[in-house]
Amino acid sequence: MLDVRNLSVAISATTILHDVSFSADAGAVTVIVGPNGSGKTTLLKAMTGELPYSGTIKLDGADIKSYSTAALAARRAVLPQATALAFPFTVLEVIRLGLSAGLYADDTNLPKRALAHVGLSGFEGRFYHALSGGEQQRCQLARVLVQVWQPVRDGKPASLFLDEPVSALDIGHQLEVMQIARGFADAGGSVVAVMHDLNLTAMFADSVALLAKGRMVIQDRPANVLSDAHLSAAYRCDVRVNKAPPKSRGIPFILPHMASTTGTKIV
C-alpha cells in the first residue's frame, strides 16, 4: 500500500535521512522505532508530505505527489507528536476539524462516537485547554479517526499515521489506544506509528522498522528486529531481549534492568 524507496531528507543543509526504504501494508500495524534523533518523525513527516525529500513515495502504486491535498486527506489522517491550539476550542470543535477534512462531514453523530471510542464520552463541551495531557492526546486521536472513520471505503484502504500516540498516557490508556490501532488495521486499514515503547511495539506490531542515525537498520517481523544485536547497536547500550512464556504467543519483551550503557558503536 505504502512504498518508500531511497528517501533522503535534508534540513538546513544537514541530511537527516539517508537513502531510506520502507513499506507499510494495508491490514497491518507498522511501527517505526529507534533512538532519539534517529529520524523517525522526519520519516513520518516526509511520508505525509510535510517535508521535502528526494526519492519516491508511492501510495497504492501512485506517487503521492500526484494526489491532490483533498485526495490525500480522504485517504490518510495524521496524528502529530503535539498539537498547540491558539484559541479556546471545545473538544467537539476540535473533533469537527477532522470531520471537515475527511469524507464524513454529513455524519453529525460521528464526533460523539469517536469520543466514546477513545474513552472521552461526555467531554464534548469541555475546553480543550482544560484537559490533561493524556486527555488532549486522546481528543486528537478522535479528531484523526473521524477523518478516516472507515478503514476501507469503496475498496480502498485508509491510513493512520501516528507519531508517539501513547507518550502521555497511563498504561491502561496506552493499551486502549494500541487496541484501537490494532482494530483499524484488522478491519483492513493501514497504521504507521512512531513508537518509543519497545514492549508495546512487540505486542501490537506486524512489522517493525528500526532506524539509527538516519538510516534504516532493518525492517522485518518484530521477532527479527527486536534482537539483542540490533537493539544494542541502535540504542548504544547492552540490551537483552527476553522471551515470554508460550501462553503469551512468545512475544519478546525488554526489561530496563537488563540493559547497561556501553560504548557500543552503531553499525
Q: Please, what's the b/e burial string for 59-87 (b: 16 or more CB within 10 A of its CB; e: otherwise)?
A: beeeebeebeeeebbbbbbbbbeeeeeee
Cell matching residue 123 = 467531554
Query: What is the pLDDT at residue 160?
Result: 97
Cell matching residue 73 = 486527506
Cell matching residue 110 = 460521528
Cell matching residue 43 = 520519516
- What are 31's strand-pairing partners? 193, 208
219 membership: H or E segment, kind and range: strand 215-220
Domains belonging to the chain, first-starting first, are 2-261 (3.40.50.300)
pTM: 0.91
Q: Which residue has the cell 523517525?
A: 40
Helices marked H in 148-240: 171-186, 198-204, 222-225, 228-235
| Tens-binned pLDDT, residue by residue, of the chain (267 aa) | 899 999 999 999 899 999 999 999 999 999 999 999 999 999 999 999 899 999 999 999 999 999 998 889 889 999 998 777 878 899 999 999 998 888 888 888 999 999 999 999 999 999 999 999 999 999 999 999 999 999 999 899 999 999 999 998 999 999 999 999 999 999 999 999 999 999 999 999 999 999 999 999 999 999 999 999 999 999 998 888 887 666 667 788 887 655 555 554 444
261: number of CA atoms within 13 Å, CB side?
A: 0
**φ and ψ at residue 101, rounded to 5 degrees:** -85, -20
Cell matching residue 259 = 540493559
Query: What is the pLDDT at residue 246?
Result: 66
Q: Which residue has the cell 526519492?
A: 55
Expressed in angstroms, the distance from the first to the final Cα of the chain is 29
Confirm if 216 and 225 have CB atoms less than 8 A apart. no
Q: Long-range CB contacts (< 8 A, 24+ apart) of 246-254?
A: 250/223, 251/202, 251/203, 251/222, 252/202, 252/222, 252/223, 252/226, 253/199, 253/202, 254/198, 254/199, 254/202, 254/226
Angle between helices 133-147 and 91-101 (to 10 degrees): 30
Angle between helices 133-147 and 171-186 (to 10 degrees): 10
